[in-house]
Amino acid sequence: MKVYIDRDEGSPAALSGAEVILALGPLTTVAKAWEQGLLKETHSILVMGGSAAWGDVTPAAEGNVFLDPTAAETVFHCGLDVTMCGLDVLRKFAPSDKEIHMPLRQMVGELYLERPELFRTVRCGVHVETEGAAARGKTVTDMESDKKFPDRDITVVLDVVTDGTAQ
Amino acid sequence: MRKIPLILDGDPGHDDAIAWMLCRASDKLSIRAVTTESGNQTIEKTTYNARRVCTLLGIDAPIAMGAPHPLSAAPVTAGNIHGTSGLDGPALPEPVMDTVDLAGWELMANVLAQSEEPVTILATGALTNVALLLKNRPEVKEKIGRISLMGGGLSHGNWTPAAEFNLLIDAEAADIVFRSGIPLLMSGLDVTERALVLPEDFEAIRRVDNSVARTVADWLDFFFRFHRDIGYTGAPLHDPVAVVALLHPEILTMKELYVEIETGGKWCRGATVGDFGGITGKAPNVTAALDIDRAAFVRLLIEAAAFYA
């Protein structure tokens, strides 16, 4: 499995050939790579950002998604297998939001890829608010709402357990 | 004991009617006026329902028809949940009273202006009338003690994944009220979907065996149908929680929070965005109910039904 770690610093071309993309930063580069047709080998994208609960840079939004909500919405709906591994579970590894930094995101992402059975996940619909003011950058899920999105094909990681019974 | 003067503002609606049943049965509240909102059905239907419910419950207060539509958005109704009449199910008495010839916000303004003590508003529909009151008669704002509202959802919505019906259908009105500085008690979906009344509870209410208790049980039967079909094990009694927030906050888990209304957005119009992380540094504008002692809630409903001999 060829895992490419993206920090949203390189050129989109660097992503070609990646089977799995572990996205630690904003999704601008990954979205561009998708739009340029460079992700032919890619089957899944693990997004280490977003939040089904509340945000960290605004009450609604997680920082990486907030920096480029349109790119995030593109990535979430590119049709590949997309997993949102954001603040909901990252907060279980850090005493405060300030300590959720890139090395932590990478550590949790690599653990998820290696030992997915340690995590509790839910399959649901997710859309990114690309407009508005108070909610701009929010990753809206439909896991608890009576009304569901028509497309419910995102895996959201909610929690980590230590006894291997998450699934 | 002095009673709290109260204005009922809602769009009855099964759960609005049960909320009003709790209010009329309380010796702590004095109902001064009833105003209607469009929402669960059109304004004509919710106003007719308000008159029928007040007749059933013996609420003797002026009733005014509220705004026919939201401040700027197109009207939306919820006939899929409350039926064609907005209050389908048991037969109700024909109204013994008419409405007064005032707009909802005008009746609110009169009650506030005439009251020597602060008046509480129970808002269980859209916030259109309250927003019109604040726009048209800002000087009476200081007479509003607090507003206990059913609306919003800090963790999720129901009419859209992000937004709850009452605040979504008039997000501009909700925004005005949430920015008003008036003390707000918010009972959103976070708590109201936990205020589940189960079929066995319907029967306990029915066994109280008076005309109001039997009607409430029949309303619950009807209200449960829609919810059962989408996976609920009971009827989530949204609006009555806003009455519990006034009368029995001890059975609720409450949190002071800064909450903003999203009025734009592609997915989030009408959403209540709560600052759980204290990121904005803004002072709380809302006391939000987040959880409820369900068994105690059911006991309150049964006790209130027994008031109507």
* Mean pLDDT of all residues belonging to chain A: 96
pLDDT given for residue A164 in this prediction: 53
Model confidence band, residue B51 (pLDDT cutoffs 50, 70, 90): very high
Please state the pTM of the whole predicted model: 0.96
Q: In which domain, by residue range, is B145 found?
A: 4-307
> What's the whole-number mean pLDDT along residues A28-55?
98
pLDDT of B50 > 90? The answer is yes
Model confidence band, residue B2 (pLDDT cutoffs 50, 70, 90): confident
Distance from CA of A61 to the nearest CA of B (A): 10
A interface mutation test: which of B255, B257, B262, B275 has the most A CBs within 10 A? Answer: B262
> What's the whole-number mean pLDDT along residues B294-300?
98
Give per-residue pLDDT as tens, B180-211.
999 999 999 999 999 999 999 999 999 999 99
Q: Which of these is catalytic: B14, B69, B156, B238?
A: B238
Task: Tell me which residue of B67, B227, B190, B263 sits closest to A53, measured CA to CA.
Answer: B190
CB contact under 8 A, B279 and A125: no
State CA A97 to chain mean position distance: 16
pLDDT given for residue B186 in this prediction: 99
Give per-residue pLDDT as tens, A48-73.
999 999 999 999 999 999 999 999 99
pLDDT of B246 > 60? The answer is yes
Show residues of chain A in contact with B267, CB under 8 Å: 127-129, 135, 138, 140
CB contact under 8 A, A132 and B265: yes
Helical ranges in chain B per DSSP H: 14-25, 43-57, 79-82, 104-114, 128-136, 165-169, 171-178, 189-192, 199-206, 211-229, 238-247, 294-307
- Interface residue B265 vs chain A (CB under 8 A): yes
The CATH label, of 3.30.980.20, 3.30.565.10, 3.90.245.10, 3.40.1010.20, for the domain at A3-160 is: 3.90.245.10
Task: Please give the tally of structural domains in chain B.
Answer: 1
Show residues of chain A in contact with B265, CB under 8 Å: 129, 131-133, 135-136
Report the CATH number that the domain containing residue B201 is assigned in CATH. Answer: 3.90.245.10
Show residues of chain B in contact with A60, CB under 8 Å: 262, 268, 271, 273
Distance from CA of B267 to the nearest CA of A (A): 6
Q: Please answer whether residues B304 and B22 qualify as being in contact, where contact means their C-beta atoms are separated by less than 8 angstroms.
A: yes
Phi, psi of B70 (to 5 degrees): -60, 165
Q: Max alpha carbon distance in chain A (Å)?
A: 42
Q: Which of B161, B265, B274 sits opposite A145 (nearest CB)?
A: B161
Q: How far, in Å, CA of B255 to CA of B276, rounded?
A: 10
Other beta carbons within 10 angstroms of residue A132's beta carbon come to 22
Which B positions 194-233 lie with beta carbon below 8 A of chain A? 230
Q: How far, in Å, CA of B196 to CA of A119, rounded?
A: 30
A interface mutation test: which of B268, B269, B275, B280 has the most A CBs within 10 A? Answer: B268
A–B interface: beta-carbon pairs under 8 A:
99
- Interface residue B234 vs chain A (CB under 8 A): no
pLDDT of B109 > 90? The answer is yes
B227 carries an active-site annotation: no
Model confidence band, residue B119 (pLDDT cutoffs 50, 70, 90): very high
Q: How far, in Å, CA of B89 to CA of B216, rounded?
A: 10
